[in-house]
Structure 1
Amino acid sequence: MPKPYPEEFREDVVRVARNRGPGVTVEQVAADFGVHAMTLWKWMRRADIDDGTKPGTTSQESAELREGVELQGKFRHPPGTDELPTARRGGDNAAQGAVSLARDLNSPVGSRRPSGIHTAATTKSTGILAMP
C-alpha cells in the first residue's frame, strides 16, 4: 500500500516541527501542513529512531524484516499446492494434546491419569476433577 504522503514531504514537516519557535505547538505545525497532529508525532518519533536519538527498529531494519517475511511466505507452500509440508503441521498435534489432557483431567477415578497429577481427586457423582 503506497504511503499517502511522499517521504520528502514528511521530512520537511518533521524538520519544521523540530525547529518551531517558542509558543508554536506541534498541533499548529500539523494544521499548517494539513496533517493530523498524531500523524506528525508519529513521524517525529520515527525520525528520532531513524536518526539514532531514540531506541527502536529503524525504517531500514523494518523494511529488511518485511522482505524476509515475504520471502519466507514464498517458500512456505510448495509450488502448485496449497498444502503445507507435513513437517510444518504442528497445530494438529497441539490440538490433539489439548483434547487428550482435557479427557485425562475429567476421567473417572481409576482410569488413566496424566503423570504428575497425583494429589488430585475426582468426585464420583460428577466425574469432574477436584483439587484437595
Structure 2
Amino acid sequence: MTQIPVETILTRYFSVSASGKHPATVQRYERVLAHLKLFLEEEGDSSINPESATLLALERQFQPDDAFARLLGAEDLVFALPRFLSSAWLLSDFHDRLAQISLVSRLVQWLCSRELVDSRWHRHAVMQTRAAAEKARRRAVT
C-alpha cells in the first residue's frame, strides 16, 4: 500500500465529505477536522507502533508543528481514531459531536475502500473504531 501522509488523507476526505453541503455543515466539518488534528498532535502517538512513535519523536525535535499529520500515514491514523472518540475528546457541542462520530466512522470505511488501509490486516483497529463510534453515538443521544 502506498504511504500517503495523514494531512493529505484528511484534506481529501474532508473535502469530499463537505462537497455540496450547507455552509453550516461545512463549518462543522472544519471544526471536527481542526479538533482531529489537535488530537493527533497531542495524543495520536499513544496508539501507534513503537517504530512510528520513535520516528515521530525524532521529527518533533526538528519540526514539531503538525508532525503526525506530515510524517505518518493511514495505518497510524486508523490506530489513533478510536481514542479520538473517547469521552475526553468528544466535542462539547451536540451537533459537532454527532458530526465527529459520523465523520470518523465514515473515514475508516473510506480508508478501507480506497485501499489505504487493509481491513483484513488491520481488522482489529477498524473494529475498535467502529465500536468506539457506536459507544460514542449511544452516549451522545442519552
Please classify the TM superposition score into its range, dividing by the shorter chain length: under 0.3
> Which structure has the bigger radius of gyration?
1
TM-score if structure 1 supplies the norm length?
0.26
RCO comparison, higher one (Cα < 8 Å, 6+):
2
TM-score if structure 2 supplies the norm length?
0.25
